Amino acid sequence: MKFQISNFRMKKSLKALTYSILAIIIGINLIAFNHAYRFTHFSDSHSEKTKKPEELSLPEKIGVLFWGASVPKPKNKKSPEAPFETIYFEGNGQLEGWLIPAENDNGVVILFHGYASSKSSLLPYAAEFNKLGYSAFLVDLSGNGGSAGQTTTLGFRESRDVAAAFALMKNRFPEDKLVLFGVSMGAVSIMKAVADFDISPDQIIIESPFGSMRDAVYQRFSAMNVPAFPFADLLLFYGGLQSGFNAFAHRPVEYARSISAKTLLSHGAKDRRVSRAEIDEIFENLAGEKQLAVFENSGHEVFLKKDSTAWVAVVSSFLAGLSKKTPLKN
């Protein structure tokens, strides 16, 4: 009799343990699903944006881990001070761009912003390119700023926006030198566009691109000082599932192999979002003439903030290496 009671209690305990484990697994998956959705689907523009991972307090980190980050659709915070033209065109939905002409005619730089940002964040760069004699075409990637949509795929579908913007400027300025410039997600969008679409920019400037989507998510957890495995991989899986693409296969380090245009790859030495190892691997895989610049005072940010003099020197020298009338060397 005692054996039967003991056996019954053991079965009951095992059953309770099984249910507990199942509940934990389901809970983790639900949290990951919600995280992925909130990371790739912008909330109402009136909601407050969650702080950067490294700026969160412990209670805030716990809250973000359970409920996900709040990322309102980015707005353009200011307009160009110089005369400009607003242009609407079709990419991955209707896109909005600002064309800021330069007094000289050295060519056109097409600029793309980073994650949860907008083209107004690129205005400091545009001003510098104008000084160098280049017109600047600043583009809101789909889901951001004045462009249609409320979602992001961190450069996967945004690559269509890059291809559309390039085709637009190529048609409008057929004889001009065309340069693609991108920051973080914008850089990744450029890399995928060159790999997947028939576009041939004269030069490319990419700043702080991540090596892979998996690297980007893992680095985000690292910035919060939180273990990434297995939660980061679940977030990747559900994010790709929700957006209709394989997030694990989103690898700029591989797109680099298709880039034969002369390329300047830049990295902030204090960057906590993109590792130097990722940058080095991308640089190694670039197929054409290439240059690597590391800005010692900068992190994952606009390099003009802390390394303005160095940035202008590097970029002006790079651009001067291929004049408007110089044919592209393969």
Task: Give domain limits for the chain.
Answer: 2-67, 85-212+250-320
Per-residue pLDDT at 278: 98
* HEC profile of the chain: CHHHHHHHHHHHHHHHHHHHHHHHHHHHHHHHHHHHHHHHECECCCCCCCCCHHHCCHHHHHHHHHHCCCCECCCCCCCCCCCCEEEEEEECEEEEEEEECCCCCCEEEEEECCCCCCHHHHHHHHHHHHHCCEEEEEEECCCCCCCCCCECCCCCCHHHHHHHHHHHHHHHCCCCCEEEEEECHHHHHHHHHHHHCCCCCCEEEEECCCCCHHHHHHHHHHHCCCCCCCHHHHHHHHHHHHHCCCHHHCCHHHHHHHCCCEEEEEEECCCCCCCHHHHHHHHHHCCCCEEEEEECCCCCCCCCCCCHHHHHHHHHHHHHCCCCCCCCCC
Per-residue pLDDT at 44: 74
Provide, rounded to the nearest whole percent, the portion of the chain with pLDDT above 70: 90
Per-residue pLDDT at 79: 97
Over residues 229-235, the mean pLDDT reads 89
pLDDT tens figures, 110-162: 999 999 999 999 999 999 999 999 999 999 999 999 999 999 999 999 999 99
- Average per-residue pLDDT for the chain: 90
Per-residue pLDDT at 328: 34
Per-residue pLDDT at 7: 67
pLDDT tens figures, 74-90: 999 999 999 999 999 99
Over residues 237-252, the mean pLDDT reads 96
pLDDT tens figures, 153-204: 999 999 999 999 999 999 999 999 999 999 999 999 999 999 999 899 999 9
85-212+250-320: which CATH architecture?
3-Layer(aba) Sandwich (3.40)
Per-residue pLDDT at 326: 36
